[in-house]
Structure formats: structure tokens, C-alpha cells
Structure 1
């Protein structure tokens, strides 16, 4: 199921990001909505897994700030690439899986990017569950049609992993390594993952679906579905990070490297 976030819910998150208590009446007056509408939005945030504290005499408080994704802001940061133009952005509040989204969509020309604040059925290699708390991390997939046979694309997962390492290194993050075939580690702990899926079509065209998950502000909550050591960017740098900054850096690097990879594939086939 795909859900967009309403402008009202986004505005409530912005108000609660100060970490203070806000009464339902005050929020309603500020946003010009009823207290019942405020309650419904709070219920939605709770259902998405957001930690809210409620005290009858004080109101609502969100202990951990959420920096929600904004397509216009992200596009301002992305470095233009001469051959890979992003034709369409889709951002969802909640979705089953960003990669599965493309499986349900008809192929399109150019690069198509899908991001989500939350995944209900995020998955990694071999269908393993990918823990996807709301508003905490980057959950991204892109679909890219390439005029190449799938047999020529065996190294693409490594190329994407190298691109993520390069992007994170630009932030001064060291201690990164790649665990073949699709894990990015920091000091031996999983920081990000890559899932590349190929859909071969007629006439030598291949639809490439690249799924990327990267831990940005994930808190150490009980996560029984994670059975390995993991780390989040905010704990590495010891401060909360904007997903916008991480996304814009990371998105630019794969474009540059996949562009180079495309050139190599095309040269090898001629």
C-alpha cells in the first residue's frame, strides 16, 4: 500500500521537531484545524512507529526530530549528469517496498527515482527483511533502462557500493568497507545495503532496479529482525543528520559512477 504524507501531518512534524510539548488546542489553532484532526494525525504518526509522549496537562512531545524528505530541496543539491537525467521523482510516506513499486509500474524512459519515509516490506538480498522505521533512514530505489544484455551487468552492485562509499567519504567518514556483494560496513558494522535486480526485455534492453538503504538517524530500539551488528550515521558523527544532505550526496555519486559504467559496457559491446 502506498501512502503520501498530508501537508497537515508534515506541518505537525515540523512543529514537534523542537522537542517541546504542544497542546492539541495550540496545534489546532496554529494549523487552523480541529483538535480531533490533530488527534487523528497523532494517531497516524503513532501507527507509523513515531515515538510520541502525551501528557494530558501539557500535550504532545516528539523526543527525536524527524527531517522529512522534500523532492524540490533534494533536486537542488543533485549534481547534473550529462547522460543520466532524473525524469521523475516519487516520494511516499509509507510503501511496501520502493523496489517492488517499480515492479508494479510500466517501464519508462530515463531514470526514475522512488523514496519513502517508511517501508512495510523492505527487503534485502534473498528476500531478507530490511528494518525501515519511519523518517529515520534513506529508503531509495531507482529504475534505469540500459541498452545492454543483463549478462554484461554483473559488476553493477559493486559499482553502486563504491559510489556510496565515495559519497560518504566526502563527509569525512572513514573506516568504511564493502562486504561482497552488497553490504557497506563501518568498522565491521552494517551501515548500508544495495540490492540490484535486472529485468531483461526484448531487443537487448534491460531494466535495472537499484535499491539502496542507508542508516541515517536510526535509534537503538529493539529490532529482532536485525540479526547482525549495525550502525547509523548519526552515531558515527555524534549528531543528528539531515537525510536531505545524505541523499543529495549519495544520489549524485551513483549517477557519476553508473554513467562511467555505462560507457564501459557500451565500449565492450562494440
Structure 2
């Protein structure tokens, strides 16, 4: 199995360091080993996705092991499913993706952020990385045994298209009390995360589990975590300064992991 052209959806074939479709659309392989399948006309901004600063904060936090239980929980689901082809949507720099590559026969990582994909490709050669939109997955119909989405948005019709009958989609989303202490520094009124009411056309939800545990972070780790969150832009300068000066910061996680199976 190979990539498909994001412009005409025909299969891409590799010729030296390029991938070319029958319509002669060409995409070059970067020196780090990833392929950029995000044409300029599909971009919503000049450099979509996480910036270098955000990516570095995310890598520092994840490498410290604070979200390792989440990675292990999803890896356990994949181990029991024994998929051959796995796609990680919104893979970032590959912290989760490379663990899935130890389980599956073939693993792909997809993200809209070029800087994150470049770092991932440098570090994890066992994963095939691409810069691409999750709204237009550059893969053929029914080619994936499993797709993982950790916080990542996606076009549900695309999931239905690329996942094989009987295949799985595994999602991880925030539970009600996720990062409550961090939110308490930013908002006057703390609101619980709303219950996940997502439905996936063509899929049946076959299992669900909640994963919650406390974390004790350094001030630097708390700053890195805040940079990873969607409410970072609401944090005032004094919040950043307070976190950076702390010796420790206690914060709880609350994840909801759902498994969906593609209808036959």
C-alpha cells in the first residue's frame, strides 16, 4: 500500500525520491524521510498546525512520561486487535505513533504541522510520516485496519472511507475533570468538559473506558503542558510567571477512550 494523490486521489508511485501519480502530480520525499501531501490550496494558513515552540513544549512534556498511561492504554487495545496497518491522525512529533509501530505491521503518522512531522521523521524511522489534512486522508479506500485519533479532528466520512470493514477507530478525548487545576488558574468559573456525544457514521461503538490519574509536575512541565492546551491563549502573563516559578504543580488527568468498529 502507498500514498494516494491529494489532488486527484490516484495512487502515488515512488520514483527515486519523489512520488508521482498517473496525472503527473509530483511530491518529493524530504531528507528526513517524510512526504508533504498538503497542497497550498488545501492550507488554511501559511504554516498550519503546531508551531516549533508548541511542538517543543509538547515533546518535553510527553517525554517526561506524564501521558504514558494513555499511550499504554491505546497500545493495549491495538495489541489485542493485532492490526497490520495503523494510521495515527494528528500524530504530532510521534510520541504515541512510534509505540504503535511496535505492535502493527505498518504504521503511518499524519499531521498538518510540518515542523512536528519533520521532528517525528528524524526520530522514528519505523513510522511513515506525512504532512496532510485530516479532512482529505491521502490513502485508498478500505486500506486501514485501525485509525487512532488522540484529540485530533477528522472528517468522519474519510474515516468511513479508509477503514476496512471490521476495522477500528480509537479516539481519546478529554473527560469532564481533565486539567481542572490548570483551568482554575485561567478562568474565574471552572466548567467541566462536556460529555463526548460524537457519533461516527458507518461505525458502532464497541467499548469505552475512562482513564484518570493525578500528576505532580515541575513548574517548567506545567508551563509546557499549558502550551499544549487550547486555552493557553487565555492565560495572562502572570499565570505563565506563576507556573514557571513553582517547584511543583499538582494536576489531574481525565481521558475518555472510545473504540469504534467499522460496519461490515
Same fold judged by TM-score > 0.5?
A: no
Q: TM (normalized to structure 1)?
A: 0.29
Whichever of the two has the greater Rg, that structure is 1
Identify the structure with the greater helix proportion. Answer: 1
Which TM-score applies when normalising by structure 2?
A: 0.29
